[in-house]
Amino acid sequence: MAKKSLNKNLNKAKSSKKDEFYTQLSDIERELRHYKHHFRDKVVYCNCDDPRVSNFFHYFSYNFEKLGLKKLITTCYKNQDMDLFSQNNSEQAIYLEYDGDKNGNKVPDTTEIGIKPLKGNGDFRNQESIDLLKQADIVVTNPPFSLFREYVAQLIEYDKKFVIVGHQNAITYKEIFPLIKDNKLWLGYGFKGGAAHFINQHYEDYATATDRKEGMIRVSGVIWLTNLEINKRQEDLILYKKYYGSEDEFPIYVNYEAIEVSKTKDIPLDYAGAMGVPITFLDKYNPDQFEIIGSSRELGAPMSSIGIKGTYMAGGPRFYLDTGNGTYQRLYDRIVIRNKKLQQ
Ligand SMILES: C[S@@+](CC[C@H](N)C(=O)[O-])C[C@H]1O[C@@H](n2cnc3c(N)ncnc32)[C@H](O)[C@@H]1O
């Protein structure tokens, strides 16, 4: 029991540490240059952002006039438990409102930024944060990884436009995938090389991150998620392969009627049926070109239900391939798609 709760605490601490990865200005600039036209006359809300350290606040306050913003609101979370590694070490949670440059120097001076105390700790779920959220048109931030499901659910509940940072693992969450399938959220342009370098000055080691630079941590699989229209989403993926009915090239799953296409670039241009593709396909997804049917988590029949016994269910439903030597290969999560623009 004691060991269990120790593990639980360690896991909690580990995900809380991940919550303290700070986004670089260059990454914010690289993504948001594609959305500039969306911001004109809009109220932008950064609700997980200490203005003293957040580059989201920096980006929007310094580009306020260029973007033609109406207002910038930022809330700073007063972290109660993590004083050791949180940068949010102020005595009190605050929020601020910025209406743009008043004295003509094109810089957000402290006298122009209205800083106000919050009654609570600035948690995005608090009523006072929700009241600020209601004023906002577009929410832009990198929210805490550990609260990602709740965070997105709130944006959907309040019908907000958003551009946020997340991890590609979130794509398969049962709370997130239906939103992607129903075209209520999609992937943005993304980080350079598919990995983000976050500012991380408060602890040393983290198992899934490699290539550490002083004060920085590299995390692969980090994505931008948005529900704002972007040109990328209207671009067709160029396909070059033909389907010749070869089971060697495109095997059929044992527990779902679809062909396995293990690389997005190999999607056959002339195949009309269901195809399973890796989740990274979403980076190239254009809803005019493809329809999303579902994911292996919801579509994969339990192996026991089709009379195959063994340890084939560990970790939830997935698709399986028959290896031909009496065993079955369990695949990573797959998204099932159908080509809407067949070519000959
Ligand atoms: C991944 S960090 C990103 C910080 C900043 N948005 C950025 O991109 O540099 C997530 C931030 O959310 C804060 N946070 C954690 N839990 C929160 C909550 N419940 N409500 C609001 N902010 C929270 C963390 O303290 C941390 O500053």
Mind listing the pLDDT tens digit for each residue in 147-181? Answer: 999 999 999 999 999 999 999 999 999 999 999 99
> So where are the chain's domains?
18-233, 259-339
77 C-alpha to ligand 1 centroid (Å): 7
Whose alpha carbon is nearest atom 9 of ligand 1? Answer: 22
Q: Please state the atom number of ligand 1 nearest to the C-alpha of residue 82.
A: 25
When pLDDT is averaged across residues 80-109 and rounded to a whole number, the result is 72
Q: Is the CB of 264 under 6 A from ligand 1?
A: no
* pLDDT for 274 beyond 80: yes
pLDDT at 14: 61
pTM, to two decimals: 0.91
Could you tell me which of 113, 104, 84, 108 has the C-alpha nearest to residue 16? 84
pLDDT at 276: 98
Q: Is the CB of 130 under 6 A from ligand 1?
A: no
Percent of the chain scoring above 90 in pLDDT: 68
What's the mean pLDDT when you consider all of the chain?
Answer: 89
In this prediction, residue 200 has a pLDDT band, given cuts at 50, 70 and 90, of confident
Residue 204 has which token pair? Answer: 């040393």
Q: Please state the atom number of ligand 1 nearest to the C-alpha of residue 50.
A: 27
Q: Is the CB of 144 under 6 A from ligand 1?
A: yes
When pLDDT is averaged across residues 240-255 and rounded to a whole number, the result is 94
Q: Is the CB of 49 under 6 A from ligand 1?
A: yes
pLDDT at 51: 85
Could you tell me which of 222, 272, 219 has the C-alpha nearest to residue 31? 222
37 C-alpha to ligand 1 centroid (Å): 26
In this prediction, residue 52 has a pLDDT band, given cuts at 50, 70 and 90, of confident
The CATH architecture that domain 18-233 belongs to is: 3-Layer(aba) Sandwich (3.40)
Rg (alpha carbons) of the chain, rounded to whole number: 23
- Whole-angstrom Cα distance, residue 21 to residue 163? 17
In this prediction, residue 282 has a pLDDT band, given cuts at 50, 70 and 90, of very high
